[in-house]
Chain A
Amino acid sequence: MHAAKSTTVMHPLLKVEAVSVRFGGLTAVDQVSFDVHQGELLGLIGPNGAGKTTMLRAITGVVHATQGEVYLSGAPLVGLPIERRIRQGLSLSQQLVKPLRNMSLLDNVALAAGGRKTASPLRALQHVSNSDELAVGMQMLEKVGIADRAHQMPGTQPLGILKRLELARALALKPQLFLLDEPLAGLNSSEARALANTIADIHQSGMTVVLIEHNLSEVMRLCQRLIVLDNGKKIGDGVPREVMQDPVVQAAYLGGDTLATSQSKVEPQHA
């Protein structure tokens, strides 16, 4: 299982070390360790309630790790507030898209691109022009294929567009590591396939990506490596095809009531 990890000689971009997250009596993430290497597209999968999103939130700082360490390019993240972790080079595309509804799509992305000018209120007070950021914003909207709607408001957009806006805005932060939380959820199969291709393009352009996704056929198509969580524990780590053939992983996916959900997520893709 761990063969893929030991063969790489590169210093990991993200290092998650024995992270546990407990909510009261419930252990949502239990002693999970993994590395993400520069340029990788890593899938983080597992049945519903496996702790994937909680793991991601422990990396971004939305929830606090009860135990363990997280390093980005060697620098420790645990203990830092969300915004500091983002400024260290993380970027999160959220599962529930949250555009700022009082500004256009372009302004949403441009705001994210202004990181240098918004580092402190004093600096933000000294800068007025946002022409550079609008240019970056436009570039990002083009990258995700919604530049034609740049000046429209988010309120009138369908989910597929908002998902792409979420990607564009997260990309505008110019992250070292791009975390995607179920970007394909809620999309029909052709929309999902198109967005998966966009994600592949983003990865091709040199971005390191961690992808949480339930759509297994797209995960198998996109990811170079999978990490499987179940009940908060890591039960798989390696090349997708091998990982999915592991009886432990199969049992986790096929066991109990997760059978219906995993199959229903896969089947529409064959249509």
Chain B
Amino acid sequence: MEPQVLVEASTALPLVTVTVAERTGAVDDPEGKEGLSRLAARLVRRTGDGLPTEELDEKIDSLGASLSVDVGQSTCQFHGTVIGRSLERFSDLVVAVLSRPSLSGEELGKLKRETLADLVEARENDRDLAQKWFRKTLFAGHLYGRSVSGTPASIASISDADVRSHVAGTLAAKNLVFAFSGDVDETTARALATRIAGALPPGEARVDRVPEPAPLPKGRKLVLVDKPDRTQTQIYIGCLGTHPHDEDHVALHVGNTIFGGTFTARLMKEVRSKRGWSYGAYSNLPYDRRRRGFSLWTFPKADDAAPCIALELSLLEKWVEGGITPRELAWAKRYLVRSHAFAVDTAAKRLAQRLDEVLYGLPPGYHSEYLERVQAVTVEDVNAAIRKRITPEDLVITVLGTAKDVLVPIRTAIGHLTSEEIVPFDRDD
């Protein structure tokens, strides 16, 4: 079988990027073994060609190359970058790394201990903690609610056999997509992809069994991540968002651009420009194979947290009830169409779009016909999409802050609170 290969050639720089992407990610981790995909991919990278990690890294570095691995909810990608003159030797190394990892038990032990230490260190990052609890709450009971990195308990439970079985099932030719950009021609790229694929077991492309997330329960749910001595809060507010196959997907994106997608959008204007409450104020609408979340992110000082939340909720309500104006739509279209130049200005970015289409099962022409679809959106389309998808009465609100300072005023600001949970910042589940 011919491997699936994407190529975006460019001689602008003497660099080549090589991506080998699995169609699997953290959602494929077995229950109780969260973090397995990431651990396994990192172990492949560290024990490739049966070499000790340090020796392998020396070889890669000395070529003027880098090889990293990035594991998300739905994909796992090995990314290589190399100075063009070393492409041939780097290619040999990539083939050897992916086809002959030793998956040594000693290295696995080291990696597990390192991961556990990383999980402790992660408690210092307030934004990540707030984001983690927002995701866990929004996708409670769903695979998207899981942590890609795992938990101390799940990492501890992962065995050599788990890793070997996972690698055998996922690092298989039919489960991979190959992508190349930069100073490389199509023939060279295809030859390298064929070499890698030929050195791996054929396997099977993983079947995507992730269900659609369930609608949010009625009402507003507050999760307060309690951390001592915070002068500032980290706030995420949101609900379920959009799916690339939704008919109103592009319309909702346009609506989000107007609400909180740019530096002059409604949210930024009200929170930062008028009141100076938060350095950043954005709303976000990512995509995946299934419906993901819609979220607002702000980080006001502790004293401003409650009024900031009240303001965000009122802006959301106004957006849903009042919709957008023709003038706002015309402006958003000009912004989206003109700024698209920066989504395709390098070979690496063009390649990333094509790779996303394959890995996330995006509708045909998702990126290449994006501008036409934006231009076709009407005010009615946007307002209907907002009303259908955004639910100001049913929300998850996650705040990282010091509970004794902020809980009471926040509770009052939210109103209609149907449930409330306070979690210590160092809770690891």
Q: Do A and B come from one complex?
A: no
Q: CB within 8 Å of A: which residues of B?
A: none
